Every structure is written in C-alpha cells, then in structure tokens.
C-alpha cells in the first residue's frame, strides 16, 4: 500500500511509519515539526525513517499544505498530526488546538473525499470520554470531554463520522488510551517519571497518586492502526477503543519503576491538575471483534523498553 502518515515525525506517527516501511509499504510522511517539544527529537525520528528509500518526508503544515498533492496515489491515510497535551489547551493555548486538531482535520477530510483513499484512520483519544461514569469505558459511553484538548479531539472525530455519513469516506476513529514506549513525548507522565528516576530527581505526583491509568504500548497501538487500515469489513465512520496492556495507578507505576531502574525513586506531591481525570481504561471487545486486535505487551516489559530508550538519550 501507499500510506500518508500525518504527524510522521512525532511519537506514534514515527512508529506507525516505521512499521509500514518494515512491512514493505511506501510511506509519505508529513509533519510541521512544531515546537511543542524539542523539534530535534522529531528530526531524529525522521532520520531513522530516512533509511528506507520508500519513505518520502515532507515538512509542511496541514493548515496550508497542498493536500491534493500529498494524497496523490495514496491508498490509506493515518492521520496522527495534532497538537497534543491537556495542560496547555486551556486559556490562550486553545487556538493552537482548534487549528491543529479541528481545522487541519477538516481540510484533510475535504481533500481525502476527493481522492482515491480507501481508508482514513484517525488517531482519536480516550480524552473524548472525560470523567467517564463507567469504567472500563466502552465506545457507547457518553462523550463529555474534561479538557479543551478533548473537545478538539472529539470535534475532529465527529468530522470523521460526518464525512463518512455524508460522503461515504471510509473513516475509522481509534480512541487511543495513554500510549507509551520509546520516543514518547517528553511532556507525558511516563517520560517525566522515567527522566526523574534516571536523573535522581523527585517524581511529581499530582493529587494522591491513586489515579488509574490504562497504558498501551506503542507497538500495540501501531498494530491496531494497521489492522484498521487493512480489515475488509469496516463500516465507514467506525469508532473503536484502542486500550489495554495494563491498568496501573500512578503510585503502582512508581513502585514498578523502582524495580526497573534498580534504585529507590522519590516522589513530590503536587496539587491535582485541572482537566486531569481520575481513571482511564477502555473495553476492547469491539477492537477484538472488528479488528481482530488485542494488546500483547504488558507494562513491566514496555516500561523496560522505554527506560532503555531514555537511558540511551542520556548517553
Ligand atoms: N500519545 C498518546 O498517549 C495519545 C493518546 C491518545 C491520542 N493520541 C493522538 O495520537 C496522535 C499522535 O500523538 P503523539 O503522542 O505521537 O504526539 P506528537 O506530538 O509526538 O506527534 C504529533 C505530530 O504532529 C505534528 N503536527 C502538529 N500540528 C501539525 C500540523 N498542523 N501540520 C502538520 N503536522 C503537525 C507535530 O509536529 C508532531 O510531530 C495525536 O493525534 C494525538 O492526539 C495520542
């Protein structure tokens, strides 16, 4: 297949591109290399991908890029480009989220409906559920985001279903729950915890640390996205949770980290953050049924991979 991966220089996008390349596919990657976190990390991700002659990288912003050109000859779109992160989506930060997550997605969908694309995989998020009343949360639970970021991810998901309903565009929205693994964004809790543990700093724990997080290893997430691109019978506009691998409290994660790093780690209590939810965790019955997918990597194994990667960055 020929794939367009948006956000190809990012954490999940670079792994998605790499997996496609390893399977022999052609990949066109697009990324604006935004400075939300150090663009050098993104450039390093792209460099790995450039080992393959079948990888074609375009540095461009989806808000003004020639999308018809980017979609030319493309069979499948993996739309991962976004402005991520909950905390900076409040106040004046919101405009960036509305543009990168909503406006850019609408532009891409509009171009995709005029193209030959046979599947459009959108990286949605568990943040669309907000403080879900039911745990683990299934796809039919009410969507009531608890952060401006979540509002933009849900708006883009609605755009995907409405392009499916109105134009038959074969979209599928995958609601990723917290993803971790090598190349994880430095603003994410797992990355900050590991960095603190490796550098001997105290780990900031927001609230009482009893928040439950459902972590999914990045290779499992990539496998779900690839399955969503390939399965034959998927109704346009499908919405599917991609979760599991391991539910663990923040305190439990700190304990596990001590074992992996092999030395005591200290914590510093911080006030609970606005927009942070107490529990995340999703059912995966639908992913199993529609995509034939189950996560394979448990947290202790995945954590060891991420620790090794962060250790390698420290030299
Ligand atoms: N990482 C997670 O735990 C998680 C969980 C749920 C959903 N998601 C979704 O998965 C996707 C990938 O997340 P990630 O963690 O890899 O983030 P990331 O920030 O590492 O990757 C996103 C990439 O998109 C690029 N980008 C942003 N705006 C752009 C634009 N207008 N045009 C072109 N490129 C642009 C950025 O430069 C970045 O490299 C996002 O859509 C995110 O909302 C991630």
pLDDT value at position 280? Answer: 77
Cα 43 from Cα 185, distance rounded (Å): 13
pLDDT, position 245: 76
- For residue 241, the cross-strand partners are 175
Percent of the chain past pLDDT 90, that is, above it, reads 86
**Cα torsion through 119, 155, 142, 277, rounded to 10:** 110
Phi-psi category of residue 187: left, alpha or beta, with phi > 0 → left and psi -120 to 50 → alpha? alpha
User: What's 117's domain CATH number?
Assistant: 3.40.50.720
C-alpha 26 to ligand 1 mean position (Å) = 21
Closest CA to 135 of 250, 255, 239, 277: 277
Q: State residue 53's pLDDT score.
A: 98
In a domain, 266, yes or no: no
Residue 253 lies in a domain: no
The pLDDT value recorded for residue 246 is 83
Six token digits for residue 167: 């134009």
> What is the widest separation between alpha-carbon atoms in the chain?
56
Residue 276 has pLDDT above 80, yes or no: no
β-sheet bridge partners, residue 212: 249, 279
pLDDT, residue 263, reads 87
Tens digits of residue pLDDT in 103-154:
999 999 999 999 999 999 999 999 999 987 788 999 999 999 999 999 999 9
- The reply to whether 311 falls in a domain is no
Is residue 275 a part of any domain in this protein? no
List beta partners, residue 51.
none
Q: Whose CA is closest to atom 15 on ligand 1?
A: 11
pLDDT reported for residue 153: 98
Answer whether residue 90 shows pLDDT above 80.
yes
User: Could you read off the pLDDT of 31-59 as tens digits, one per residue?
Assistant: 999 999 999 999 999 999 999 999 999 99
Nearest to 121 by CA among 264, 254, 260, 221: 221
pLDDT at position 273: 79
Angle at 77 between CA 102 and CA 149, to 5 degrees: 25
Parent domain of 138: 2-177+217-243+281-295
Contact 251, 258 (CB under 8 A): no
In the structure, which protein residues have their CB atom closer than 6 angstroms to any atom of ligand 1? 7, 9-13, 30-34, 36, 42, 61-63, 80-84, 100, 104, 123, 125, 153, 176, 178-179, 185
* pLDDT at residue 89 in the model: 93
Asked if residue 252 has pLDDT above 90, the reply is yes
Ligand 1 atom nearest to 127, measured from its CA: 6
228 touches 161 (CB < 8 A)? no
In a domain, 232, yes or no: yes
Closest ligand 1 atom, residue 149 Cα: 43
**Does residue 279 have a pLDDT over 90?**
no
Average pLDDT rounded to a whole number, residues 58-63 = 98
Choosing from 36, 122, 129, 149, the catalytic residue is: 149
Confidence of residue 60 (pLDDT cuts 50, 70, 90): very high
Q: What are 149-188's pLDDT values in tens digits?
A: 999 999 999 999 999 999 999 999 999 999 999 999 999 9
* Domain membership flag for residue 170: yes
Q: How many domains does the chain have?
A: 1
In this structure, is residue 128 part of a structural domain?
yes
**Catalytic residue check, 36:** no
At residue 15, φ and ψ (nearest 5 deg) are -70, -40
Indicate whether 315 belongs to any domain: no
């Amino acid at each position: 297949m020929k794939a367009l991966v948006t956000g190809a220089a990012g954490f999940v996008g670079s792994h998605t591109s790499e997996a496609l390349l390893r399977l022999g596919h052609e990949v066109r990657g697009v990324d604006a290399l935004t400075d939300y976190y150090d663009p050098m990390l993104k450039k390093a991700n792209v460099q790995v991908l450039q080992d393959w002659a079948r990888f074609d990288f375009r540095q461009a912003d989806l808000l003004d890029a020639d999308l018809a050109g980017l979609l030319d000859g493309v069979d499948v779109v993996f739309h991962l480009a976004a402005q991520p992160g909950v905390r900076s989506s409040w106040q004046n930060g919101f405009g960036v989220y509305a543009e990168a997550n909503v406006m850019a997605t609408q532009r891409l969908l509009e171009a995709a409906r005029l193209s030959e694309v046979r599947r459009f995989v959108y990286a949605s998020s568990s943040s669309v559920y907000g403080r879900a009343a039911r745990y683990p949360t299934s796809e039919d639970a009410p969507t009531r985001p608890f952060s401006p970021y979540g509002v933009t991810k849900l708006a883009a998901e609605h755009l995907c279903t409405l392009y499916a309903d109105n134009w038959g565009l074969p979209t599928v929205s995958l609601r990723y729950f917290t993803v971790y693994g090598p190349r994880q964004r430095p603003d994410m809790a797992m990355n900050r915890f590991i960095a603190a543990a490796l550098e001997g700093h105290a780990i900031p724990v927001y609230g009482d640390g009893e928040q439950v997080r459902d972590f999914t290893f990045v290779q499992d997430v990539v496998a779900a996205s690839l399955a969503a691109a390939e399965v034959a019978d998927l109704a346009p506009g499908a919405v599917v949770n991609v979760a599991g691998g391991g539910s663990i409290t923040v305190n439990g994660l700190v304990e596990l980290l001590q074992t992996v790093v092999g030395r005591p780690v200290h914590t510093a209590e911080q006030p609970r953050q606005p927009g942070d939810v107490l529990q995340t965790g999703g059912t995966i019955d639908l992913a199993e049924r529609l995509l034939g997918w189950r996560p394979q990597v448990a947290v202790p194994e995945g954590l060891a991979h991420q620790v090794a990667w962060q250790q390698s960055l420290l030299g």
